[in-house]
């Protein structure tokens, strides 16, 4: 029986390996499909960034994933150099779409997205993606070591640089207490990390990349309040001196933003500082009051 068990078990392992490799390949092709959505113009040149950090500008942007269903309508805003603009609004209002357009996953159908005055359709995608760092809502980790996952932000980074980024993202202590430290394998086949831990790995990865523009897509899942505060602090230090777009699900994240945009059905319906929006007594004030009556760890109530 044991003679049969060992080869069968071995076959099972091989089967799982192949299945996982196919999943990885599948993911890679999904990403490559996204790459194919946009192409470099024949005369595209690298983005010129004389004064870092650069200003980011959306000018009368219209966008649809599918022509039959417009998503963004005449969206205009500017993030001055080194400032943070926050976006809030109900689910599906188009917040993450703004992030995808700034990373140039897609091209706009109307208007312009500009970085340092240059329309991002006129410059190379590689230079845009080098200038922009995204901390996504839901980070997918590679089936590799935690070191590899952080160093992915800047291939070739030394262990010291990886550790410095991990310390800044407050994940270093967690890592050194895992069975093999920085060599511990994470991802679907390795150690499972919580949403907050994964987001810290993503912050460390982005800190290591050190791009002049930062997009932070706050996780929708509820974190406990200590973790939430820690992540907000990390975010604040990561955004220091960078031009940042923050997609927020908790209003406590946006209080200090240079400007807050309130989106609804692909339009900016209110904008201003936290104080100005509260004084206005509109949708933002309504969201703020609703959230204040909720337990601290729950995401902001976003009335549809
Ligand atoms: P949430 O707060 O839930 O993350 P959101 O405000 O970020 O939502 P978006 O992800 O920008 O919303 O989505 C805006 C609209 O675009 C939604 O109606 C969504 O269904 C649609 N959408 C998003 N991604 C795609 C896609 N790849 N193809 C087609 N439609 C999409």
pLDDT single digits (tens) 62-111: 999 999 999 999 999 999 999 999 999 999 999 999 999 999 999 999 99
**Given this model, what pLDDT does residue 22 score?**
46
> Going by CA atoms, what residue is nearest to atom 31 of ligand 1?
65
Pocket test for ligand 1, best of 34, 86, 97, 299 (most atoms within 8 A of CB): 97
In angstroms, what is the span from residue 129 Cα to ligand 1's centroid?
21
Q: Is 92 in the pocket of ligand 1 (CB under 6 A)?
A: yes
Per-residue model confidence (pLDDT) at position 138 = 79
Tokens coding 32: 């490559």
- CB distance 93 to ligand 1 below 6 Å: yes
- Cα torsion through 119, 139, 33, 89, rounded to 10: -50
Question: pTM of the entire structure?
Answer: 0.82
Q: Using a 6 Å cutoff on CB, does residue 65 contact ligand 1?
A: yes
Q: Is the ipTM of this complex over 0.85?
A: yes
pLDDT at 296: 52
CA–CA separation, 217 vs 40, rounded Å?
Answer: 26
- pLDDT value of residue 93: 95
pLDDT of amino acid 224: 63
Tell whether ligand 1 has an atom less than 6 A from the beta carbon of residue 180: no
Is there an atom of ligand 1 within 6 Å of 97 CB?
yes
Ligand 1 atom closest to residue 266's alpha carbon, by position in its atom list: 14
Per-residue confidence (pLDDT) for residue 37, from 0 to 100: 74
Pairwise CA distance, residues 23 & 31, whole Å: 12
The stretches in the chain having pLDDT less than 70 are 1-36, 51, 219-228, 231, 295-304
Q: For residue 12, what pLDDT is reported?
A: 57
User: What's the CA gap between 106 and 108, in Å, rounded?
Assistant: 7
Q: Compute, in angstroms, the gap from residue 282 CA to the centroid of ligand 1.
A: 24
């Amino acid at each position: 029986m044991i003679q049969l068990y060992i080869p069968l078990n071995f076959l099972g392992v091989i089967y799982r390996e192949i299945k996982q490799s196919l999943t990885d390949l599948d993911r890679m092709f999904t990403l490559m499909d996204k790459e194919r959505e946009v192409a470099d113009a024949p005369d595209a040149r690298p983005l010129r960034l004389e004064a870092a950090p650069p200003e980011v500008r959306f000018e009368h942007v219209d966008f649809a994933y599918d022509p039959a269903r417009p998503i963004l309508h005449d969206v205009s805003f500017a993030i001055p150099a080194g400032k943070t603009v926050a976006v809030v609004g109900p689910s599906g209002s188009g917040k993450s779409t703004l992030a995808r357009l700034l990373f140039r996953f897609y091209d706009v159908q109307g208007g312009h997205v500009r970085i340092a005055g240059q329309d991002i359709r006129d410059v190379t995608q590689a230079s845009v993606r080098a200038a922009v760092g995204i901390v996504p809502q839901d980070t997918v980790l590679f089936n590799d070591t935690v070191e590899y996952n952080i160093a992915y932000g800047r291939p070739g980074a030394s262990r010291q640089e990886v550790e410095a980024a991990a310390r800044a993202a407050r994940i270093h202590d967690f890592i050194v207490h895992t069975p093999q430290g920085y060599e511990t394998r994470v991802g679907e086949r390795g150690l499972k990390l919580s949403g907050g831990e994964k987001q810290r790995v993503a912050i460390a990865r982005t800190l290591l990349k050190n791009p002049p523009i930062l997009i932070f897509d706050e996780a929708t899942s509820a974190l406990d309040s200590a973790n939430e505060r820690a992540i907000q602090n990390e975010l604040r230090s990561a955004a220091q001196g960078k031009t940042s777009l923050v997609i927020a699900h908790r209003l406590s994240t946006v209080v200090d933003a240079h400007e807050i945009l309130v989106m609804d059905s692909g339009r900016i319906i209110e904008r201003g500082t936290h104080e100005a929006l509260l004084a206005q007594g509109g949708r933002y004030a309504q969201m703020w009051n609703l959230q204040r009556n909720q337990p601290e760890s729950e995401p902001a109530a976003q009335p549809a």
